[in-house]
């Protein structure tokens, strides 16, 4: 009996130690590429007067490195190109002269090592919105009012599957506006290849 108890205790301690080591060592993220493209069929901006503008949006970003420490506020890279597609309601102009926009790491969802999503903040994104009623407002995300991007991750394959954006943004029209999107696909900027994120 004593031997069985000792064996069980040893096995339990080994499993616990292994879990702790796995969690403790997962202090960095490794991404399979430095070039990421995200696309949305519909990004909706609800302006100061409650009127919505909906447009297609594509963003290309470049990371500084393929590996990064999971530290809040870490500058991961920049959004270097922004494209506006067809607007189904209202109209908008991306102020490309304000590029590049900062992309900062802002946390994750899930339990280590099974991260289900990675959250980033985008600071400096700027655009001009012309609402359906003819009112034009300038909008720009700031440190305390960033755009939030949520990248969803498959815990089995480690692939990023989709991304959604949203946030509250100051406008030149006085009251703040809000924006949200559908879930858009993610790929390597130069191809349609999938992107994986692993913990190391």
How do the pLDDT tens digits run along the chain, 200 residues long?
444 443 334 334 333 333 333 344 468 999 999 999 999 999 999 876 678 899 999 999 999 999 999 999 999 999 999 999 999 988 999 999 999 999 999 999 999 889 999 999 999 999 999 876 678 899 999 999 999 999 999 999 999 999 999 999 999 988 889 999 999 999 998 888 999 999 99
Residue 9 within any structural domain of the chain: no
Over its C-alpha atoms, the chain yields an Rg (Å, rounded) of 21
What sign does the dihedral 151-152-154-160 (CA atoms) show? negative
Please give the full DSSP string across 86-151, using - where no structure is assigned.
EEEESEEEE-GGGPPEEEEEEEEEEETTEEEEEEEEEE--EEEEE-TTS-EEEEE-BTTB-EEEEE
Residue 126 within any structural domain of the chain: yes
Residue 183: domain span = 28-199
Number of domains in the chain: 1
pTM for the model stands at 0.83
How many Cβ atoms from other residues are within 10 Å of residue 174's Cβ? 9
Longest pairwise C-alpha distance within the chain: 82
Residue 14 within any structural domain of the chain: no
């Amino acid at each position: 009996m004593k031997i069985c108890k000792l064996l069980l205790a040893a096995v339990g301690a080994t499993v616990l130690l292994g879990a702790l080591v796995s969690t403790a060592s997962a202090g960095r993220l490794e991404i399979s590429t430095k070039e990421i493209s995200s696309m949305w069929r519909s990004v909706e901006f609800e302006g100061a007067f409650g009127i919505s503008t909906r447009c297609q949006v594509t963003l290309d970003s470049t990371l500084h490195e393929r590996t990064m420490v999971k530290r809040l506020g870490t500058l991961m890279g920049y959004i270097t190109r922004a494209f506006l597609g067809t607007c189904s309601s209202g109209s908008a102009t991306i102020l490309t002269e304000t590029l590049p926009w900062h992309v900062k790491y802002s946390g994750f969802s899930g339990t280590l090592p099974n991260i289900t999503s990675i959250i980033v903040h985008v600071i400096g994104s700027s655009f001009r919105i012309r609402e359906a009623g003819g009112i034009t407002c300038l909008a720009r995300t700031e440190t305390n009012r960033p755009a939030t991007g949520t990248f969803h991750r498959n815990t089995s394959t480690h692939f990023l599957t989709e991304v959604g954006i949203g946030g509250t943004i100051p406008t030149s029209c006085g009251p703040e506006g809000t924006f949200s999107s559908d879930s858009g696909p993610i790929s390597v900027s130069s191809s349609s290849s999938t992107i994986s994120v692993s913990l190391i």
